[in-house]
Amino acid sequence: MRAGNLAAAMGVRGALVLRCAAFAAGVVINSFGIAFITKAALGTSPISSLPYVLSLALPLSLGGFTLIMNMLFIAAQFVLLRGVIKPVQLLQIPVNLVFSAAIDLSMSLLGWLEPSGLIARCASLLAGCVILAFGVALEVAPDVLLVPGEGIVRAIAYRTRVRFGSVKVGFDLTLMLLAAGLSLLLFRGLNGIGAGTIISALLVGRIVNLFNRRSRLISAVRGLRGSVERRDADVEIEREGAPEQVRYEQQAR
């Protein structure tokens, strides 16, 4: 059966259940990919760079600092989009809880992974990028909900009237610079960020695009959206007296 007909065959409720399951699986896989990249010891992913540096300096885990950072992102969305953001976006809070806990669980499960040579570290980094990219593609395909890191970028883009992609690049760069500055302050050197941070930033989005084009699973999950309205992922915005929908589209990281 073609992906486009799958949602119609299952019905709206069944399709929605599968979409939510795919989204949840993508979030968990993301966490495993981030842990894999981090264990390569070449620098973690851009979105995790600041929490990771903090976790190296203070007695709180990477998942713990990720939880705090993402809660701030969620709060900032409601400040920036006050009056137009829908309450359904509060579901980002339980998603954040699951994601942050999954990061710590993944780091624990990968406790055995300590690549020592450059080749082994690069292999771990590449594996992490592939895993993270698959998780992103799977998370985005069902178009269920925002994740905090994307939601705050979308909110900034809306308020500044700057394109999402441009804001995303600037946002990731800001996090990396903050992490680098904090690392220099705390450790008098770069600790927790490095070549792997830049490589993951360049590779993950391209691998996501590859999964989107080639993966039958991703196509099937995307097909589940066919009969379900995207009302939960939109923010209704009044602009010049006419209602406008700003799609909260998940972009490749």
- Gyration radius from the chain CA atoms: 18
What is the reported pLDDT for 202? 86
**How many whole angstroms separate alpha carbon 98 and alpha carbon 46?**
20
Spatial CB neighbours of 214, under 8 Å, sequence gap ≥ 6: none
Q: Tell me if residue 234 falls in helix, strand or coil.
A: strand
Task: Indicate the domain borders of the chain.
Answer: 3-228
CA distances, 236 to each of 12, 81, 167, 244 (Å): 23, 10, 21, 6
Q: For strands 234-239 and 242-247, give the pairing.
A: antiparallel
Give the DSSP H or E segment for 245. strand 242-247
Q: Which single residue is written with the structure tokens 């959206």?
A: 225
Query: Per DSSP, what are the bridge partners of residue 245?
Result: 236
Which long-range contacts (C-beta less than 8 Å, at least 24 apart) are formed by 111-119?
A: 113/36, 113/39, 114/39, 115/39, 115/40, 115/41
Examine the pLDDT at 189 and tell me if it is beyond 70: yes
**Average pLDDT, rounded, for the chain:** 84
Count CB atoms within 10 A of the CB of residue 33. 25
DSSP 69-120: HHHHHHHHHHHHTTTTS-GGGGGHHHHHHHHHHHHHHHHHHTTT----SHHH
pTM (predicted TM-score): 0.81
Tens of pLDDT along 36-69?
999 999 999 999 999 999 999 999 999 999 999 9
Tens of pLDDT along 80-95?
998 888 888 899 999 9
Q: Which of 47-61, 94-108, 114-128, 219-233 has the lowest mean pLDDT?
A: 219-233
**How many whole angstroms separate alpha carbon 97 and alpha carbon 82?**
23
**How many whole angstroms separate alpha carbon 43 and alpha carbon 170?**
19
